[in-house]
Amino acid sequence: MDVNSHAEELASDLGVDKAEVKADLENLLEYSVPIDEAKQSVRRKHGGGGGGSSPTPESVDLVEITTDHGNVTATVRVLTRGTRTIRYQGDDLTIREGELADGTGTISYTAWQDFGFEPGDSLTIGNAGVREWDGEPELNLNESTTVAIADEPVAVDHEVGGDRDLVDIAAGDRGRNVEVRVLEVESKTISGRDGETEIREGVVGDETAKLPFTDWDPRPDLEVGADLRIEDVYAREFRGVPSINLTEFTTVTPLSEPVSVAESAPRLSVGEAVASGGMFDVEFVGNVLEVRDGSGLIERCPECGRVTQNGQCRSHGEVDGEDDLRVKAILDDGTDTVTVVLDDELTAEVYGGGLDEALAAAKDAMDKDVVAESIADTLVGGAYRVRGSLSVDEYGATLDATAFEEADDDPAESARAALAEVGR
C-alpha cells in the first residue's frame, strides 16, 4: 500500500479529511518513522485510540473491579502517589504507586513508567491491567496503558494527598507525608543486596503517636530534636509494627513551628489495636487473667539472649544460662487478650525485689517457681494500665511493656471509652 491508500483508509476510519491525514503521514515518514507507527500516531492525533488492534476495554466503576477483570478503563481522581525503586528481574526499576478513587470506591495502583500525574489530578486511564495484590485488585499501569486528563473533575469522598497523622499510618501505605519530631536516631551498617550499606534508624513522633523509621538514603537532617516535614515515605511492617521508610525520592524540609509530641500513648481497646496489626506505642487497661510459664526467675542463653528450657537454647544447644527476671501475663480488657511481657526492671517492681532477692527466695524454698508464684499472687485478678509496643503474629498478640502500673479505673469501662474515642 502506498501513502495515498493508507491515508484514504485512515481518513475513512477516523471520519476526517483525507488531505489532512495524508499531510500528517508524509510529515512523519519524512522523519523515517515506520508506516505502522506513523499511522498510530495520526490515529491518536485524531482521537482514534491505539490503532484498532487492541480494542479499548469497557469503562468501569472502581467498586466493580475484581481480580477476574483482564484490562479496564476507568475515570478516577489520583489520591496519592509514592515513588520507589524496586529490583525487578535483576534491574532497578523506578515505580509510582498509591491510590485512585472515583465516586464508588478506591483502588491501589502501580505505574511502571512515569505518566506525570499527581495527587488531585482527574484522569481517564485506558487499558490498565488488573492484578491481585495483598488479596485485593490493583491497577497496573504499563506501556499499553493510556492516561489522559478527564473531561470533568472526578468528585470523591476521600482525602486527596498523602498527608497523615502517625496514628493513621499502616503497613502497606505508600506516598505518605508526615510532620514529625525526630526522637531517636542511630547509624547502622547492614549487608544489603548491594553489599555493605549505611542506613539510619530511629523513632519519630507527632501529637498522635510515635513510630520507628528507617532512612535508606541517610541524610543529616534527621537528628534528634529536628522538626521536619517528610514527603513521600512508605510504611512496612518491621518487628510487628508499622515502620516509616525514607528512600532516595523522599524529601525532608525543616519546619519553622515545633511539632508537639504526645507524652501519652494512644489509648485503644485491645481488640481495636490487635485488629490494626501492631502498634509501636499503645496503652491498654485490663485485668491480668494469668501469669504464664516462663515467668519469674528464668535463664537466658549467653549467646543470643533466648530463654533456655532445662539449660537448652533452641539455637545453641546446651549452654550455661544467665539468670534473669521476666513476666508474661495475659491481660484482658473485654475486647480481646494480649500477652504482656515485662522486662527485668518492671518485673522487679511488681515482685518487690531484684534478681538477688529472687535468687535468695528460690534458694530458701529450694524451688525457682516461688518467684513466679509470688508474682501471680500479686497480679492475677488485678486491673493494670500498661504501655508498650504491640506486635501481632500467628501465635497471637504480644505487648513489650515500657510501663506497667495498677489502674484505678474499671477496665471494662476503659475499653468502652477507648472504643468511643476511636469512633469505630
Q: In whole angstroms, how large is the CA radius of gyration of the chain?
A: 30
Nearer to Zn ion, 303 or 413 (CB): 303
Nearer to Zn ion, 18 or 300 (CB): 300
Nearer to Zn ion, 36 or 322 (CB): 322
Residue 11 makes CB contacts below 8 A (sequence gap 6+) with 17, 18, 20, 21, 22
Tell the smallest beta-carbon distance from residue 306 to Zn ion (Å).
5
Nearer to Zn ion, 288 or 301 (CB): 301
Residues between 283 and 342 with contacts to Zn ion, criterion CB under 5 A: 301, 303-304, 306, 313, 315-316
Tell the smallest beta-carbon distance from residue 102 to Zn ion (Å).
54
Residue 19 makes CB contacts below 8 A (sequence gap 6+) with none
Residue 215's nearest CA partner among 206, 228, 207 is 228
Tell the smallest beta-carbon distance from residue 314 to Zn ion (Å).
7
Tell the smallest beta-carbon distance from residue 324 to Zn ion (Å).
13
> Cα(47)–Cα(62) distance, rounded to whole angstroms?
24
- In Å, the largest CA–CA distance within the chain is 107
Nearer to Zn ion, 12 or 312 (CB): 312
Q: Pattern 89-108, binding to Zn ion, x per CB under 5 A?
A: --------------------
Nearer to Zn ion, 246 or 313 (CB): 313
Amino acid at the residue 127: N
Residue showing cell 466493580:
64
Q: Please state, in angstroms and as integers, the Cα–Cα distance from residue 100 to each residue in 11, 93, 163, following that order.
A: 36, 21, 15
**Shortest-Cβ-distance residue relative to Zn ion:** 301
Nearer to Zn ion, 310 or 315 (CB): 315
Number of residues that bind Zn ion (CB under 5 A): 7
> Cα(175)–Cα(185) distance, rounded to whole angstroms?
22
Tell the smallest beta-carbon distance from residue 316 to Zn ion (Å).
4
Handedness of CA 34, 40, 41, 46 (dihedral sign): positive
Tell the smallest beta-carbon distance from residue 323 to Zn ion (Å).
15
Using CB atoms within 10 Å of the CB of residue 291, give its burial: 0 to 12 exposed, 13 to 18 middle, 19+ buried. buried
Tell the smallest beta-carbon distance from residue 189 to Zn ion (Å).
24
> Cα(294)–Cα(290) distance, rounded to whole angstroms?
12
Report if residue 148 touches Zn ion, rule: CB under 5 A: no
Residues that bind Zn ion (CB under 5 A): 301, 303-304, 306, 313, 315-316
